[in-house]
Structure 1
Amino acid sequence: MMRITQLYRYPLKSGIAEPLEDARLDGLGLAGDRRWMVVDAQSGRFQSQRALPRMSQILARWNAAGGLTLQAPGMACLDVPLPDDGAALRGVTVWSDAMRVPDAGDEAAAWLSELLGKPYRLVQVPAERARQVDTGYAEPGEKVGFADGFPLLLIGQASLDDLSARVGRPLEMLRFRPNLVVEGGEPYAEDGWKRIRIGDTEFRMAKGCSRCILTTIDPSTGERSPDREPLTTLKTYRERDGEVYFGQNLVHQGEGELRVGMAVEVLE
């Protein structure tokens, strides 16, 4: 039987993962997943570990007031309140998508700018300002927050085990930043799924997840692998049309609950 063995959300896009035992699905994916983001103060362009590996050391967690608590080595802890309805809106871009979303204020901006070395802002996405998922893979009205393109990412544990064997050393699952890790199937079994059900919720496999240099960053240290692994090995057998794929992007059908240990049923 296949089952969920790990659940993760990423409150801050490109920040440290938050392991969960259970999670609620809302209209944008796992509740609280990638609802906050760092942007360049001048251009509004989103920032990530691709260009700023030090972001891998930012621990962002929900606080009791509904906002975000930021921590990083050498920095004082900062509680950031959830922007209210009157917060200033900032124009930002996530890949080719332009949005106007609430800015989290000058204190959070100063904290990030000190840590990362140039002017940055922190922004938050309310559900009503979320992006439409690419309609080549989703229906109108299916939305995503600040994740790269899709609400959820699933990876089979057997797929990572196979890749680790090919690379010749154990690889951390968090290099690939999944939301759901599933155990019990064959390596890359998820490539052939079209629909699955977990609990009362159905999920549609939208497309394979194309991978980039971020996978070469050690999630615990923020340092890049000098041998460019595991991307180098992935390119030898997982490349198609100039892209390297590992894991499956999902779109969920309605809200629901997930927890570690739940069975995963392949419907199609």
Structure 2
Amino acid sequence: MHVATLTVFPVKSTRAHPVLTTTVHAHGLGGDRRWALVDGSGAVVTARTRDRMLLIAATPTATGLRLSAPGRAELDVEFPVDGDVVPVGVSRMPRARYAGRAASEWCSTVLGEHVALVWQSDPRARTVSAEHGGRDGDHMSLADAGPLLVATTASVARLNEWIAETDRDATIPITRFRPNVVVDDDSAGALEPFEEDGWARIRIGGVSYRFAEQCDRCVLTTIDPDTLAHGKEPLRTLARHRKRAGKTWFAVRMIPERSGVISVGDRVEVLERQPVAAG
């Protein structure tokens, strides 16, 4: 098996940013989800309820971010290392650095409501909860529940086979699930659908990763990031085939066991396997 694609999401819940290589930290991939948008109360806003966030593209730069969106001039934002510390509604991280008025006004114009851009200055300040597979010493970015999301091409292929049983014209790309790492096989049929559920530990290149949990899926997967059209797939089909404890499941969260570098094409090895939950 090998890494087919690598993706980071510099600002939580905005457009994907593909990369060919990046660093791996304990908190996740370099440049992934260290920024977020919050409303006037400090609550994090996401594309689940503000689909226009998917129009915002954020590109990491040496000094911060470059923001772009249709009809808007690009804006360079520097890391707000001396920015005001403001309260935010992020689990296990009550404060973040305010990125400044210009960035917040730019994002507010795209969304059509007042929001502020904030930055996580130190990812060690936020732990991975035990509920989501965290142990002492595990920490993470502003991602929902874990440092890294891994999916496989075999699993999305099987999902699309299931979808075709009721709608032959519907195909869901794996990008809808917003994985950081997509794993493909070196020869057809070598990778079984959903076998990632049973990966207790894997190695990608020179870095090993520990299984944290299967990932439960939300309404964001039903929104086309290019057209902002909303639909019923893939949740409708996942509910028929991958429902357990009232939730639907696709892809797995992993926790890096050390730092290093990860690149497209890196070999993926399964070091340990585990039983897979039914459903």
Q: If the length of structure 2 is used for normalisation, what is the TM-score?
A: 0.90
Alignment of 1:156 with 2:152, yes or no, is yes
Alignment of 1:47-196 (within 5 A): 47-64=45-62, 66-84=63-81, 86-94=82-90, 96-127=91-122, 130-136=125-131, 137-168=133-164, 169-184=170-185, 185-196=191-202
Residue 36 (structure 2) aligns with = 37
Alignment of 1:248 with 2:252, yes or no, is yes
- Give 5+ residue unaligned stretches, structure 2: 165-169, 186-190, 273-279
CA contact (8 A) 1:56 1:219 kept: yes
Query: Which of 199, 207, 228 does residue 201 from structure 1 map onto?
Result: 207
User: Residue by residue, what CA displacement relative to the aligned partner does 1:154-183 show, whole Å, maximum 9, x if unpaired?
Assistant: 001100011111112321111100000011
Aligned length: 261
Partners of 2:252 and 2:209 in 1: CA distance: 11
CA contact (8 A) 1:101 1:123 kept: yes
70 and 43 in structure 1: CA distance in 2 versus 1, 3 angstrom threshold: same
Partners of 1:50 and 1:103 in 2: CA distance: 23
Partners of 2:130 and 2:118 in 1: CA distance: 25
CA contact (8 A) 1:56 1:221 kept: no
Q: Give the aligned residue type for 1:60.
A: A
Partners of 2:77 and 2:251 in 1: CA distance: 33
Partners of 1:91 and 1:58 in 2: CA distance: 24
Shift of residue 128, structure 1, vs aligned partner: 5.1
Residue 210 (structure 1) aligns with = 216
User: Residue by residue, what CA displacement relative to the aligned partner does 1:101-150 show, whole Å, maximum 9, x if unpaired?
Assistant: 10000111111111111110000102256310012412212111110010
Partners of 2:46 and 2:134 in 1: CA distance: 25
Partners of 1:91 and 1:30 in 2: CA distance: 25
Partners of 1:56 and 1:128 in 2: CA distance: 24
Partners of 1:235 and 1:148 in 2: CA distance: 21
Partners of 1:172 and 1:89 in 2: CA distance: 38
Q: Give the aligned residue type for 1:33.
A: D
CA contact (8 A) 2:159 2:238 kept: yes
Partners of 1:146 and 1:128 in 2: CA distance: 8
Extract structure 1 runs of 4+ deviating beyond 4 A.
none
Alignment of 1:233 with 2:228, yes or no, is no
SS in 1 for 2:72: coil
User: How large is the Cα RMSD of the aligned pairs?
Assistant: 1.2
Partners of 1:129 and 1:43 in 2: CA distance: 24
CA contact (8 A) 1:37 1:124 kept: yes
CA contact (8 A) 2:124 2:139 kept: no
Residue 260 (structure 1) aligns with = 264
Sequence identity percentage = 41
Partners of 1:243 and 1:253 in 2: CA distance: 28
